[in-house]
Structures are given as C-alpha cells and as structure tokens.
Amino acid sequence: MDNTTEPVDDDYTDYSYVDSGSHYQFQKVNDPLTCFFVNLLYNSALFLGKIRFIPAFFGLIVNVFHLIILTRKLMRTSCINVIMIGISIADLRNLSYVLYRKWIMEREYDKCDLPDSTNYTFLMIEHWAQMTNEVTRRVSAMLGVMIALVRTLVLKYPFNSRFESLHTPGFGIKSIVFISILSSMINILYWGPSILVDGNANWFPPEECGYPKDFSAPRYQYETMEIFRIDSLVPMQMFQAAGGISKMIPAVALPILTGMLVKDIRASQKSRATLVSQRTDKSDQTTKMITLMTVTSMISEGPLGVLEFMLMFTPGSMRLLVVISDFMSIFEVIVVFNTMTHCFACLVMSSQYRNTAKETFGCRNSKSTTIQGIPSSNSFRMTMT
C-alpha cells in the first residue's frame, strides 16, 4: 500500500468564501471579509431589485393622490406648489418605468417566439423609455434642489425686490420648463449618437417550431455613430461627463441647502417676536416641511449621484464597477421610497394641503374653512401652511 501523500501546493488558494451566485470577478479573492461584504452587497441588491416594484406600485398610488391635491386651484397659487407638481409628474413617470421593467422581465417566453432583439419597434420603444426615464429622474432631483434654493433665497433676502418673482407660480413653471429642457439636452448628447443597426447575427428558430425553411430574423443592436466614437474628435467621455456632472449637482447642493435651512429654522426660533409669532410659526412650518423633503432627497439622491459620477472613472476596474452597480441598485430602491415622502410631509406639516385634501376627497367639515396663503412682510404667497 502506497502511503505517500500528494505534495501541498504552496500557491493553493481557498476560493470558497465567495457565494457561487455572486460576481465572478471576485471568485479568486481569498480575503474572507472582502468576500463577505461582496456577497452581502450582491444578495441585498438582488433582493431589493426583485421587490422594487412593490414600493413603486404604492408610490404610484400615493403620487396620484398627491398630484390631484396639488393641482387644485387653491394650491396652484405658489411657486413651491407648482414645482412640487413638476416633481410629482416626474416621479409618476419614474415609478411607471419601474413597473414597466418588471413586466418586461417577467414575461413568459417560448423558444419559438421571436426574441426582442429582432423587434425593431420594441427596441426603439425601449430606447426612448430608458432615455425619458433618465430625463425625469434628473428633473425630479433638480427640482428638489430648486425648491430648497427658492426657500433659502426668500428667507435670506425677504426684502430684496430682485427676488420678488420667486413668490409667483410663473417662476415655478419657468423652473420646470428650463430644467426639463436642460436635462433633455444632456440626454440627447448622451444617447443621441447611438443608432440601431443590424447586428450581423441572425436568429434561427428550432426546427420543431414550424417556421419556413431557411427562415431567419436579423438581430438589432445599438452602436455609436462613427463620428462620436472614442478615437474621433468628439470622444464619448465628454457626453458621459455631462451626464455625470449633472447628477452630482444634487449630491453637492442638497447638503449645503439643508444646512442653510436648518440654520434658518434655529435663527427664527431664537428671534421670534410675540407680535408676529403666528406668522413666524407658519413660516417655520413651511421651512421645516421643505427641510424634511430636502433631507430625504439628500439621503436618496445624493449617494446615487456620487456613484453615477464615479462610474466615469472605473472603465478598467470590473470589480469596482460591479460594487458601484450593486450600491446603485440599493439606492434606487431608496429613491422609490422617497417619492412617497413629499405627500406625507405635506399632510403632516401643511394645514392648507390637509384642508384641500379633505375638500377634494369629500371629507370637508360642515363648517366652511377659508384657505389663505401665508402672510408675510413681503407678500409671502409662495408657501403652504
């Protein structure tokens, strides 16, 4: 009997730490802590991605309710409310896209069905659906910044006539139009150079499917037009930078504006006078409501903007790329939850919003209620109380 043993390979590495369902890029990593983190991140992103349609469905219902209230005549008298209408419409579009993607992924396919890659019309619709989703995602985040900025400027310069227009619904409409056009232009730069072409890889059905002999269908794919390729005078990195920088703006601006709003709340509480206590209380409630919405937007949109900006600098690192992608999947679910916070914040902190909701949905008290805008030393009509 041979009692000799096989020599031990000094280069042997135990790769059992990485879950078999995790990213293959980490299959040869031997650090238990790193592998535990990668597995946890991967499984969390996978789980949240699968259930994202659930909060999206409820968010859709909440935002329909929210939009109905905001579009009442009594609510359309201030800049803040008009901008919130724009945010609600953008959020409805984004939530609808989540449900649409869920339907696309859950469709049942038969091996004899033509694949989506052979359907030119479907691919065009997918392309535009994804592009418009990018636009509305950016619009929602930027309008959130605009609300905080408008409130901050009005509180900081209450007697400055140059900021008088910030009180009006017209400024809110102009803000929505300007940000929508700007976001669309960025996406046109990013997506515009792509064209749908024949991928030179036809689909051939199985023989048992009953298609005519020698039947095949062309597969289509998107390619970047020659003039916009990396080795040309207008590199694709420029378009990626435009999109990445635009997504960094909320990540940078929201914490700054949040700090300024919190500072204003503390200052107003210290300097409150008895004569104007009622007016100050109403103004404080509005500031607190906007601050709450700004904080929730900062928590959800801020990290996502940083992660998307980081993607520009990870073209050669697949491990970092998949980690960033997993984090983005997690924060995208947080963004879905955040779409419901505006409605609840308004219900809790705005008496005008509550009264309008009661009146709209048949819960009005027998005693009539007069709803007025917030009075202030400078015609403070832009807020909700």
- pLDDT tens profile 38-87: 888 888 988 998 899 999 999 999 999 999 999 998 898 889 899 999 99
When mean pLDDT is compared over 21-30, 238-247, 276-285, 348-357, the highest value belongs to 348-357
Q: Cα separation of 113 and 378, whole Å?
A: 66
pLDDT attached to residue 383: 44
Q: Per residue in 89-108, pLDDT tens?
A: 999 999 999 999 888 888 77
Q: Cα separation of 161 and 157, whole Å?
A: 9
pLDDT band at 4 (very low <50, low <70, confident <90, very high): very low
When mean pLDDT is compared over 134-138, 259-263, 273-277, the highest value belongs to 134-138
Rounded to 10°, the helix 53-70/32-51 angle is 50
What lies within 8 Å, CB to CB, of 36 at 6+ separation is 17
Residue type, 259: G
- The DSSP call for residue 158 is T
From the list 372, 385, 368, 346, the residue with the least C-alpha distance to 65 is: 346
pLDDT band at 154 (very low <50, low <70, confident <90, very high): confident
Residue 232 has pLDDT above 80, yes or no: no
What lies within 8 Å, CB to CB, of 245 at 6+ separation is 309
The radius of gyration computed from the CA coordinates of the chain, to the nearest angstrom, equals 27
CA 4 from chain centre, in angstroms, equals 63
Q: Per residue in 180-205, pLDDT tens?
A: 998 888 777 767 667 888 878 888 88
Residue 255 has pLDDT above 50, yes or no: yes
pLDDT attached to residue 41: 87
Q: Which three-class secondary structure state does DSSP give residue 221? A: strand
Q: Which two tokens stand for residue 235?
A: 């590199």
3-state helix, strand, coil in the chain (%, to 5): 70, 5, 30
Q: Cα separation of 56 and 63, whole Å?
A: 10
Question: Per DSSP, what are the bridge partners of residue 194?
Answer: 224
pLDDT attached to residue 236: 57
From the list 85, 63, 62, 64, the residue with the least C-alpha distance to 73 is: 85
From the list 131, 102, 38, the residue with the least C-alpha distance to 325 is: 38
Question: Per DSSP, what are the bridge partners of residue 224?
Answer: 194
Residue the block writes with tokens 């802590």: 33
pLDDT attached to residue 201: 83
Give the burial string for 60-88 (b: 16+ CB within 10 Å, else e).
bebbebbbebbebebbebbbbbbbbbbbb
Q: Cα separation of 292 and 295, whole Å?
A: 5
pLDDT attached to residue 27: 63
Q: Which ranges in 198-317 belong to alpha helices (H)?
A: 236-270, 277-310
Residue 295 has pLDDT above 90, yes or no: no
At the second CATH level, the architecture of 36-360 is Up-down Bundle (1.20)
Residue 246 has pLDDT above 90, yes or no: no
Residue type, 331: F
Mean pLDDT of the 362-373 span: 50
Higher pLDDT, 149 or 300: 149
Residue 123 has pLDDT above 60, yes or no: yes
Cβ(353)–Cβ(69) below 8 Å: yes
Cβ(87)–Cβ(144) below 8 Å: yes
